[in-house]
Each structure stands twice: as C-alpha cells, then as structure tokens.
Amino acid sequence: MSAAGPSAAAPSAEARAPRRGRPPSGARERILEAAIEALKADGYAGLTFAKVAARSGESKPLIAYHFGSRQGLVAAAGTQVAELMTARILAHMKGARTVEEIVRGALLGTAAVMDDDVRLARLYFDLAAISVVEPEIRSTIGAINEQWRRILAERLASASDGVPPDRLRAMTLLVIGGIQGLALERIERGDARELSEAGELFARSAADAARRLSS
C-alpha cells in the first residue's frame, strides 16, 4: 500500500468550498476608497454601484452587504472625507494660541487640502447641497458639521484672547462661515493672490471680533 493513504488525499469538497457569509478581508476599505474616487470624479449624481464595483474589484452585492444602499455608501464616504480634511486642518492649527493664529491655521489647512486635491472640497459642498433632499446624507453632513463646530469652539475657548462662553457659538459660526466662503471662492477662481490677502484680513477681523466680544 502506498504511504499516501486517505489522509493525504485531495482536500474535500467542503474544504474547497468558499466560506459563505464572510466577505474578503479589506473589501470594505477598498469599496470605500473606490466610492470616494468615484464621487470626486463624477459627483453624487454620477455615483453608481457599478462604477464602485469596477474601481474596487468587488461585487455589487458585496457593496450592498457593507453599506446597504447608495445613500449609505455616500454617507460613509462623506464621513471618511471629513475625517481626512479635519486631520489635515488640525495639523496646521497645532500650536496656535490666539484667535488670529487659530483662524489663520484653519485657513492654511483648508488651502492645503485643496492644494492636494481640490475635488475633496468640491465633494463636501456637493454633499452639503444634496443633504437638503436626502435625509441620510443630511444626518451625516449634520454630524460632520457639528463635530467641526465642537473642535473649533474648543480651540477658540482655549485661546489666550478667547471669547466668553456665552458668545462662543456665535464666534465659531462666524469663523466657519468665513472659511467656507473663502473655500468656495477658491473653487471658483483658483489660487488667486487676493484670496490670500482676504484670508489674512479675515483672520485679523476674527481676532478683532473676539476682543470686542470679550470687552
């Protein structure tokens, strides 16, 4: 009898069969990355499971397994984009001690994000517009905005020339409005010299506003 008995036989059909119900490792991350790239290229209106499947190499049923719906996929992608943008902006705010330094850091961080890939900023504003009519995306955008308001409010409250607690939210909204407005101008006009000057003027104006609120 050969030394290779039954135990050395080919793997059983059960061993060869794929394990159902267990998505391949890393599939969710590949799908999410592909969705972000598709959104940057085609916007919310152009996003389909078919495009994401082609980019990620995963199947449409697997996309649905992980994210449920197109809106669920977009919500997850929007959250990840916001996390990337926030981390980059906070890096430029590191060490800022005054209101002017905090606002200038936030402006420089936003500009850095747009220098890397202006489509990220376009995507944020695209999703913000869509959120008006899509409840799931509205919830995601609302959570992203509230998180950013909280982060910025904490920085402004800890500034050496910070504003009183009862005026903090108004100051925070002023700063966010200015940053978003300048970002929209840059999307439309490109990196123009006058936008840098406008950013400096806004940072100084915010500091003046904080001093008046504290007086």
Q: What is the per-residue pLDDT across 89-148, written as a single tens digit (0 to 9) for each? A: 999 999 999 999 999 999 999 999 999 999 999 999 999 999 999 888 999 999 999 999
Angle subtended by helix axes 99-116 and 118-130, to nearest 10: 100
Least confident of 4-8, 73-77, 99-103, 122-126: 4-8
Q: Which of 157, 36, 174 is nearest to 97 (CA)?
A: 157
Return the pLDDT at 23.
54
Q: Which of 214, 208, 101, 109 is nearest to 165 (CA)?
A: 214
Task: Give the whole-angstrom CA distance, residue 81 versus residue 49.
Answer: 19
Sorted by sequence, the CB contacts under 8 Å of residue 163 that are 6+ apart come out as: 99, 156, 157, 171, 210, 213, 214
Sorted by sequence, the CB contacts under 8 Å of residue 75 that are 6+ apart come out as: 136, 137, 139, 140
Helix, strand, or coil here: 58? coil
Q: What is the pLDDT of residues 18-31, one digit of tens each?
A: 444 555 579 999 99
Q: Which of 177, 178, 158 is nearest to 168 (CA)?
A: 158
Return the pLDDT at 24.
56
* pLDDT interval class at 8 (50, 70, 90): very low
Contact 98, 161 (CB under 8 A): yes
Q: Mean pLDDT across the chain, nearest whole number?
A: 88
Q: What is the pLDDT of residues 31-49, one digit of tens each?
A: 999 999 999 999 999 999 9
- Which residue ranges form the domains of the chain, and what is each CATH number? 23-68 (1.10.10.60), 78-214 (1.10.357.10)
Task: Give the whole-angstrom CA distance, residue 86 versus residue 54.
Answer: 29
Residues in the chain: 215
Return the pLDDT at 51.
97
